């Protein structure tokens, strides 16, 4: 393992994040906090509690999960896309670095950025609601697994994209709608039976409910199933990355 090369990529990506903190950290924190203030204040007056948890506290795990997934995805996808777009990725591929080291450098940096944002959002939420974490170890482990899986997915997206339009296509038209329909602001148990069944095909339902179980011990689906879905998602993305590097798909000019 070339730890120096891996650390170099990691540091470069973290420096890129820190150079434009207003865009990479401050903006996501403000936007997610506004979701909490607006929805918590608006719906909190009509929905006081869900499964014994105040509505303001109930939406916190969903908003944290939204921050983790979207920021890990965007950081990893843009991180690998720009070297590919500029042509500098070929210098990286010719350097004494394995595919694993290149991937880990980008993925770990993206996960770090997402976790920093999620932690800030967590502390911001404490100014509005009281939060108790029923299963802290499960919460941390599950959150990290989701973050790494979406960082891997972002890496795949960055390698696949040929243009800035393609880079934004999946996050804007697939990921964001699915996340909001995954139960951030509501329990799927309140939906009609047909839409409950439809919601079970949305992977965000398992990610949000997994973290909600870690926080409050409540979940619309089995926590074990949540872990299985996330682990399967991470495995699929890892296999796709291995296939891309092995075949040179969209890497070769």
Question: Over 90: is that where the pLDDT of 115 sits?
Answer: yes
Q: Is 44 part of a structural domain of the chain?
A: yes
| Beta carbons of 151 and 112 less than 8 angstroms apart | no
| Beta carbons of 193 and 180 less than 8 angstroms apart | no
pLDDT exceeding 70 applies to what percent of the chain?
A: 96
Question: Over 70: is that where the pLDDT of 165 sits?
Answer: yes
| 132 SS3 class | coil
Q: Is 252 part of a structural domain of the chain?
A: no
**pLDDT band at residue 2, thresholds of 50, 70 and 90?**
confident
Q: Is 75 part of a structural domain of the chain?
A: yes
Question: Over 90: is that where the pLDDT of 248 sits?
Answer: no
| 49 SS3 class | strand
- In this prediction, residue 43 carries a pLDDT of 65
- If you ran DSSP here, which 8-state letter would residue 20 be given? T
Q: Is 125 part of a structural domain of the chain?
A: yes
- pTM, whole model, 2 decimals? 0.93
**pLDDT band at residue 3, thresholds of 50, 70 and 90?**
confident
pLDDT, tens digit, for every residue of 12-70? 999 999 998 888 899 999 988 888 777 766 665 667 778 888 888 899 999 999 999 99
Per the structure, how many domains does the chain have? 1
Q: Is 253 part of a structural domain of the chain?
A: no
Q: Is the CA virtual torsion 103, 106, 110, 115 positive or negative? A: positive
Q: Is 45 part of a structural domain of the chain?
A: yes
Q: Is 156 part of a structural domain of the chain?
A: yes
Mean pLDDT across the stretch 125-144?
Answer: 91
Q: Is 106 part of a structural domain of the chain?
A: yes
pLDDT exceeding 90 applies to what percent of the chain?
A: 57
Looking at every residue in the chain, the average pLDDT score rounds to: 90
pLDDT, tens digit, for every residue of 179-234? 988 998 889 988 899 999 999 999 999 999 999 999 999 999 999 999 999 999 99
- If you ran DSSP here, which 8-state letter would residue 252 be given? -
> Residue 131 to residues 44, 52, 60, 136: CA-CA distances in angstroms?
16, 13, 9, 12
Mean pLDDT across the stretch 134-151?
Answer: 96
């Amino acid at each position: 393992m070339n730890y120096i090369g891996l650390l170099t990529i990691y540091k470069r990506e973290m420096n890129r994040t820190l150079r434009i903190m207003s865009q990479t950290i401050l903006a996501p924190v403000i936007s997610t906090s506004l979701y909490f203030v607006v929805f918590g204040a608006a719906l909190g007056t009509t929905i006081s509690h869900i499964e014994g948890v105040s509505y303001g506290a109930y939406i916190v795990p969903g908003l944290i999960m939204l921050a983790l997934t979207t920021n890990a995805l965007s950081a990893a996808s843009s991180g690998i896309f720009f070297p590919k777009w500029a042509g500098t990725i070929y210098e990286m591929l010719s350097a004494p670095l394995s595919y694993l080291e290149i991937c880990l450098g980008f993925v770990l940096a993206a996960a770090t950025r997402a976790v920093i944002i999620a932690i800030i959002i967590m502390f911001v939420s404490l100014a509005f609601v009281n939060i108790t974490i029923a299963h802290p170890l499960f919460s941390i482990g599950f959150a990290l697994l989701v973050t790494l899986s979406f960082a891997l997915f972002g890496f795949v997206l960055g390698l696949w994209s040929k243009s800035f339009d393609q880079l934004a296509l999946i996050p804007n038209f697939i990921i964001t709608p699915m996340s909001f329909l995954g139960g951030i602001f509501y329990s799927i148990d309140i939906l009609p039976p047909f839409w409950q069944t439809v919601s079970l095909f949305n992977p965000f339902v398992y990610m949000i409910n997994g973290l909600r179980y870690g926080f409050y011990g409540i979940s619309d689906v089995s926590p074990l199933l949540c872990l299985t879905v996330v682990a399967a998602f991470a495995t699929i993305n890892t296999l796709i990355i291995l296939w891309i590097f092995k075949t040179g798909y969209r890497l070769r000019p």
